[in-house]
């Protein structure tokens, strides 16, 4: 890796990074030289990840503004100013729209969309003062292409794509780049119920031009790139990492 992709001297906060894509992105950023700060709402898995990676971690719920503001203040005091933020934490509450309880609609919008706004704004305040920042929002292929049974999630992830453009538009003058990654279907705890269904598994493999599910490692390189000087003139974009799925019908 050349200096162009180096994160040396940078502090990177990755939300929902006790497991899954967030954890792999955090490992990639650590390998690129960043001081990585982990976060999760689940203290048990977070403690295990902290011990395994030898990284600091903070328990907070990204959709709770008071918790977020106090955690960001503690991280900046205890670790240093946050240079890189990955808004990764996300959840599913699967159901057809016609049957979906309003609480499940609200919960998914609250965590996946409002959480990115709440953490993004809290962290951007320091980035604006320091005139430097890289924000990476994790959207999804479902932010652009939908499937039945996840209407709440698709609306939230579509919102993340436009939130990314709004953040990029309002914070660009402070030297803050804001971009999104749109992963395709990757094997994690979140997609376990889908991967365990042979029909769904076969469908993914037949639809994706690269003929396989994504691996969490497939997201690390692009996240490092979007956090590094290599992407200094990229902002407001969503980059799909989906094995080519978006390109074909």
For every residue of 193-216, DSSP letters joined together read HHHTSHHHHHHHHHHSTT-S-B-G
Write out the binding residues for ligand NAD, residues 120-139 only, by CB under 6 A. 138
Q: Which is nearer to ligand NAD, 131 or 211 (CB)?
A: 211
> How far out from the chain centre does Cα 26 lie?
10
Tokens 């005139």 sit at which residue? 131
Residue 101 CB coordination number (10 Å): 10
Does 28 bind ligand NAD (CB under 6 A)? Our answer is no
Determine the size of the site formed for ligand NAD (CB under 6 A): 30
Does 164 bind ligand NAD (CB under 6 A)? Our answer is no
Q: Which residues of 43-77 are buried (b: 16+ CB within 10 A; e: fewer)?
A: eebbeebbeebebbbbbbbbbebebbbebbeebbe
- In this chain, which of 171, 185, 240, 245 binds ligand NAD, going by CB under 6 A? 185
Task: Please choose, out of 13-21, 27-35, 120-128, 223-231, the segment that lies near ligand NAD by the rule CB under 6 A.
Answer: 13-21
- In this chain, which of 11, 45, 82, 86 binds ligand NAD, going by CB under 6 A? 45
153 is catalytic: yes
- In this chain, which of 99, 173, 189, 196 binds ligand NAD, going by CB under 6 A? 189
Active site residue: 153, 174, 185, 233, which one? Answer: 153
- Token pair recorded at residue 58: 């903070």
Does 88 bind ligand NAD (CB under 6 A)? Our answer is yes
Residue 165 CA to residue 141 CA, distance in Å, equals 17
Does 196 bind ligand NAD (CB under 6 A)? Our answer is no
- In this chain, which of 37, 86, 111, 176 binds ligand NAD, going by CB under 6 A? 111
Cβ contact 143:154 at 8 Å: yes
- Token pair recorded at residue 57: 């971690």
- In this chain, which of 12, 21, 71, 220 binds ligand NAD, going by CB under 6 A? 21
CA torsion sign for 154, 156, 157, 163 is positive
Does 57 bind ligand NAD (CB under 6 A)? Our answer is no
> Which run of H or of E encompasses 87?
strand 84-87
Active site residues: 153
Binding positions for ligand NAD, rule: CB under 6 A: 15-16, 18-22, 39-42, 45, 61-63, 88-91, 111, 115, 138, 140, 183, 185-186, 188-191
């Amino acid at each position: 890796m050349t200096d162009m992709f180096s994160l040396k001297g940078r502090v990177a906060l990755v939300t929902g990074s006790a497991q899954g894509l967030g954890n792999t992105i955090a490992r990639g950023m650590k390998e690129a030289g960043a001081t990585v700060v982990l976060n999760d709402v689940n203290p048990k898995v977070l403690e295990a990840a902290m011990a395994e990676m030898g990284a600091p971690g903070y328990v907070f719920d990204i959709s709770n503004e008071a918790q977020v503001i106090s955690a960001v203040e503690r991280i900046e005091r205890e670790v240093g100013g946050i240079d890189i933020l990955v808004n990764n934490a996300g959840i599913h509450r699967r159901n057809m729209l016609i049957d979906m309880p309003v609480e499940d609609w609200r919960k998914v919008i609250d965590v996946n969309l409002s959480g990115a706004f709440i953490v993004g704004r809290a962290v951007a305040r320091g980035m604006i003062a320091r005139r430097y920042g890289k924000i990476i929002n994790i959207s999804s292929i479902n932010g652009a292409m939908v499937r039945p049974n996840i209407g709440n999630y698709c609306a939230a992830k579509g919102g993340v794509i436009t939130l990314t453009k709004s953040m990029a538009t309002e914070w660009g003058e402070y030297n803050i780049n804001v971009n999104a990654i749109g992963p395709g279907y990757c094997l994690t705890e979140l997609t376990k119920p889908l991967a365990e269904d042979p029909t769904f598994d076969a469908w993914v493999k037949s639809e994706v031009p690269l003929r396989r599910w994504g691996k969490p490692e497939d997201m690390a390189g692009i996240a490092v790139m979007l956090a590094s000087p290599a992407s200094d003139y990229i902002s407001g974009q969503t980059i799909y990492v989906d094995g080519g799925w978006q390109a074909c019908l």
